[in-house]
Amino acid sequence: MLEMWFPNPSFQAILGDGLAVQQGFYYPALFIIYLVIYTFMTYAYYLVDFRLPGTKGTKVTLYVISELLIFLVYRAEPMPHLVEMDWVINPVKAILIFMVQGQLIYRLMARQRLMYKPKPFFYTRGLHVYILVFAIMRLVAYLGLDIYGPDDGQLPAAVLWSGILGLAIGLSFGAIQRYIIRQNHIGKTNQFALQFFAWIAVANYAMMYLRYDVGIFDLLARLGLDIAAVWIATFIVLHWQINERTPVYPLDTNSQI
């Protein structure tokens, strides 16, 4: 419905309509594919619910903001086909979608019980790792693979944007990593990169593929490099920077009865 009410006025001289738009099944395909994607994005809340302390509203808000932060930066990527109005429409649509998702999680999945004592909220020492890894990966994508992206004049802004995306992912990681179900290093790396982040990236690129005439290789290369960047950065941060010897202790639930 948001796509029907708020269509993107992108510059079509650069990117033509995608196959789904040309064949007339764009909206049904968009509904089915995004229903599946957002179902998995919503279901991924189970990764943190059991260990995350706080009320239902606090837990859901933290999770949705962690998702929304990454998605908003994704939708702000400097691309040649975007026009000024896209920078307004895309964030509005994203915020509305994640507001609905937050209500679904709150009513269907969140549990209001203080299962674990809180630990420090943000882990900031690893932010520069995410920023650097993402900037390097995007340079590889733009210069090495020659995929669709910013032109030469937009390249500095695109590299800056990739650092901002890395910062957003690092902030989201710092907020939720201590509460992910799998607390061993490789398990936490896989769950954050391949479950929490991967579905956000898939949602972003699925929208682009359905709407515009972009090569599938370009989008798969972008998706693969983004997921690889998150996995590598998370692996580095967890194995060489975070000291997890101090565990997150369960609360005394008997005292809460």
Distances in Å between the alpha carbon of 176 and those of 38, 85, 226? 19, 33, 19
User: How does DSSP assign 63-88, residue by residue?
Assistant: HHHHHHHHHHHHHT---TT--TTHHH
pLDDT tens-digit readout, 27-77: 888 888 888 988 888 888 888 877 777 788 888 888 888 898 888 888 888
In terms of C-beta density within 10 A (0-12 exposed, 13-18 middle, 19 or more buried), how is residue 61 classed?
Answer: middle
Q: How many CA atoms lie within 13 A of 74 on its CB side?
A: 23
For range 214-238, the mean pLDDT: 89
Q: What is the domain partition of the chain in residue ranges?
A: 19-243
What is the average per-residue pLDDT within 154-162? 84
User: What integer pLDDT is reported at residue 123 of this predicted model?
Assistant: 63
Q: Is 181 helix (H, G, I), strand (E, B) or coil?
A: coil
* Token reading at 82: 């975007």
pLDDT tens by residue, 73-91: 888 887 776 766 666 677 7
Q: 215 to each of 26, 58, 101, how far by Cα in Å?
A: 17, 41, 30
Tens digit of each residue's pLDDT (9 = 90 or more) over 172-199: 888 888 788 887 888 889 999 999 999 9
Distance, in Å, from the CA atom of 88 to the CA atom of 9, rounded to the nearest integer, reads 11
Lowest mean pLDDT among 138-152, 192-206, 217-231: 138-152
Asked if pLDDT for residue 253 goes beyond 80, the answer is no
